[in-house]
Amino acid sequence: MRRLVVASAILATLLTMPLSLAAVSPTATPAPIPTAGPTFPGTATDSARATAALSYLLAAQAPNGSIDKSLGETADYVIGAADAGYDPATLTGCTAGGTGALTFLATASDAATTDAAKTGKTILAVVAAGLDPAAFSGRNLVARLGALYHADTGAYGDGSTFAQAFAILAVDASGGSVPPAATAKLAALQDGDGSWSYGKAPVAAGSGDTNSTAMALMALDAVGVHSADGTGFAYLATQQLADGSFPYQNSTAYGPPASDPDSDSVVLQALVAAGQDPTSSTWSKGSANVLTSLRASQINDGGFYFPGSGESAFTTSEVPAALAGVPYGAAAHPKAGASLPPTACPNYIPVASPAASVSAGSSYGAGSSAAPSRVATQAGATAAAGDSSSSNGNSSGLDPLALLLVAVVLILLAGCGLWFYRARSRPR
């Protein structure tokens, strides 16, 4: 009897093992993200691409008016819209009468009063929108930024590269006079190899990055300081990959280097700010360059994808300004009342081959051919913005096999229990 009971227990255990595996498999081993998905039509102009990216962001805009509840991403959204000719006052998401992006920035800026980078970036967004940063929804952002300046060191806030760069750009864009000590502080952060890093002091050669370098060059060039252009752009040239793109760092420390739309965008903006042509032979690898690389990263619903993690508002937010060919701090000329087409709002389903596309052309004089595809190494998602389904293939449905196993186990356990009860009830 004991042998039969033990055998029954073992059988029950063996039967429940595949049941437990079946139960956890949907979340433990999600389906892989699709490799890039259908890309945006190669014949589209960069203006059309920027509009599609902004429409994607419009659908991603949260009820509080933000993009991902982020001041930085929302500011980029506003700046990109203005640079593409749209009125930032119309950025209220897909819901009529929703909270505007500018309203979110006003509130979010209150939590960033000690952050020079965020305050500076907010000022750039306000100026791009055609508003006065000294009287923005009852807030004097110019005074806030001025209070973060340390005259003895030339530092804004913590004196890091992004704090200095965004503060300098903001002061200049709002009509102020940038203290020479502030530009000297930023120039002094340059590393020995011509790069900048995100920190508050120079780092060893090879430890800088393209993003910090591009931001520093953009800020210095905006106020007429070109002394670092030679070494700065020489460093960026060493970072350019064979497909014309720019990674955060051209290093194999974490595997083969791969570009991303954000790095491409900020480097492209820095080149334009310095009066350089990003599609020229100087910045091309054969027929490929940073712009063709950026185009190749756009999904046909307008969003841009980051290598290995799919498309997102975070990745897309900085791209429209770059596609418009406008660096940070440059004058934007939005048309009052011009609103984005809500093509990516809920109920919009992207198609693999859009029926219509606009003629070729770009703001940089480049051709319309797309860069060599990098879909083999970079992931993307094709779900329409606003779609509530997950892009990783997880499912909450019950597996029919699991239900069958549950039934078998319950029957066996019930049978064994009944037999054991009867056996114990017999006279010994």
Q: pLDDT, tens digit, for every residue of 182-228?
A: 999 999 999 999 999 999 999 999 999 999 999 999 999 999 999 99
The answer on pLDDT for 292 being more than 60 is: yes
pLDDT at 254: 85
With cut-offs at 50, 70 and 90, classify the pLDDT of residue 38.
low
With cut-offs at 50, 70 and 90, classify the pLDDT of residue 264.
very high
Mean pLDDT of 49-69: 96
Measured distance CA(144)–CA(365) in Å, rounded: 40
- The count of other CB atoms within 10 Å of the CB of residue 308 is 12
Q: pLDDT, tens digit, for every residue of 144-173?
A: 999 999 999 999 999 999 999 999 999 999
Q: pLDDT, tens digit, for every residue of 414-425?
A: 554 544 334 333
Comparing 133-142, 190-199, 272-281, 335-344, the range with the smallest average pLDDT is: 335-344
Rounded to a whole number of angstroms, the CA Rg of the chain reads 28
Which of the residue ranges 69-83, 297-311, 344-358 has the most confident prediction, judged by mean pLDDT? Answer: 69-83
CB 297 within 8 A of CB 305: yes
* The residue to which tokens 């999904």 are assigned: 299
Residue 31 phi/psi, 5-degree rounding, is -65, 145
The answer on pLDDT for 351 being more than 80 is: no
pLDDT at 50: 97
- Where b means 16+ CB within 10 Å and e means fewer, 50-70 reads bbbbbbbbbbbbbeebbbbeb
Q: pLDDT > 90: what percent of the chain?
A: 66
pLDDT at 325: 97
Query: What pTM did the predictor assign?
Result: 0.75
- The count of other CB atoms within 10 Å of the CB of residue 259 is 28
* The residue to which tokens 């060493």 are assigned: 238
Measured distance CA(46)–CA(151) in Å, rounded: 42
Name the helix (H) or strand (E) containing 155: strand 155-156
Q: Among 285, 303, 282, 281, which residue's Cα sits nearest to residue 293?
A: 285
Amino acid at 380: G
Beta strand extents in 251-348 (DSSP E only): 284-285, 288-289, 304-306, 310-312
- The count of other CB atoms within 10 Å of the CB of residue 311 is 28
- The count of other CB atoms within 10 Å of the CB of residue 108 is 20
Measured distance CA(317)–CA(360) in Å, rounded: 23
Q: Which tokens hold the place of 390?
A: 């997950």
The answer on pLDDT for 303 being more than 50 is: yes
- Where b means 16+ CB within 10 Å and e means fewer, 395-420 reads eeeeeeebeebeeebeeebeebeeee
